Amino acid sequence: MEELINRVPKAELHVHIEGTMEPELLFDLSHKNSVPLSQTLDQCKQSRLNYENLQDFLNQYYQACNVLKFEEDFYRLAMEYFEKAIKSHILHCEVFFDPQTHLANGISFETIIKGLTRASEEVKNQIQVKWIMCFLRHLPESEGIELINQAIPYAHLIHGIGLDSAEEGNPPGKYENAFRIAAEKGLCGPQCLYKTAHAGEECDASSVISTLYHLNVPRIDHGVRSIDCDNLCKALVECKVALTLCPLSNVKLRVKERFFPEKKAIKELFDFGVMITINSDDPSFFGGYINENYAYALMEFEEDRQKDVLRQLAKNSFLASFINEEEKVDFCKKVDEALDKL
């Protein structure tokens, strides 16, 4: 099964580029840019083994972002992820980046986007990349609107928008105007459909419902707590809203432990007919890239079903992506071709 997972073509739709920073790169950039860290390398690795909650993780995540100062730093960060993605047979990825984190550190939007897109341009013959600009929901919406103003000159390099950071206490309606303005300014792709938002990770199913209502997104990031509401799951199926699940993230952040310890949420959502995809979220912090997340997810299914489930999950990753219908058909054919040979 590990060989099948590795060789099947797939897309990754939920990965934060800052969350791919391995400890070694973190300390290398810390030294290069004279940014002191509060931990040793060994302490850093140890602290990434367990988190009390989402905020505990975010504290470490934002501290790591402090070492990113120059275009070359963002380029190196992206290239390290792309190298791993290519080895994992990811053919298409839609990668989140958090400009507000870096703008607060005095880094220009130009520096961020040029570093990231230089990397994606360099690997375009091996992997197709779309950049999703995220708003930090714990910040005021006015700051998100200011971010839009800074992003407009680079709209041709941005393929969509997202909403991330601390879910609890920051309802999606808070960013309704920002999403509307971003669409008006051409940051949400064709027909303004390339938008997504985190929901249903910290908060319950009502957060997913509210996100769909206020932000009208075709895709929900995480959304795993939808499993607690049958009517929501029915609506997700009927409206063809996809969930970008991140299994190891749910384990490390104790989402599964706190909210559905007795449930096999991935299997139940899949069997319900919800279009779920498997992704790595912040892999360097959560102990696994996409293949490890697939392996964990497939453990919920009976062994004689795993190959068929893998086939559907891989197809879902393309079907839920922000690519055109013709490309989706072509990628799904590649999935069948790969698995039929093995």
Query: Which positions are catalytic?
Result: 201
- The Cα–Cα gap between 70 and 114 comes to 10
- The Cα–Cα gap between 317 and 319 comes to 6
3-state helix, strand, coil in the chain (%, to 5): 60, 15, 30
Residue 103's closest CA among 137, 144, 131? 144
Name the E strands within the chain: 10-16, 90-97, 128-136, 160-164, 196-199, 219-222, 242-245, 276-278
* Phi, psi angles (nearest 5°) of residue 197: -155, 145
- What does R_g of the chain's alpha carbons equal in angstroms? 19
Phi-psi region of 276 (alpha: psi -120 to 50; beta: other; left: phi over 0): beta
- The Cα–Cα gap between 250 and 244 comes to 12
- In order of 160, 267, 283, the CA distances from 259 in angstroms are 31, 16, 22
* Phi, psi angles (nearest 5°) of residue 169: 85, 0
Q: Give the angle 58-294-122 at the CA atoms, nearest 5°.
A: 70
Q: 176-184 and 205-215 helices cross at what angle (nearest 10)?
A: 40
Number of CB atoms found within 10 A of residue 271's CB: 12
- The Cα–Cα gap between 199 and 201 comes to 6
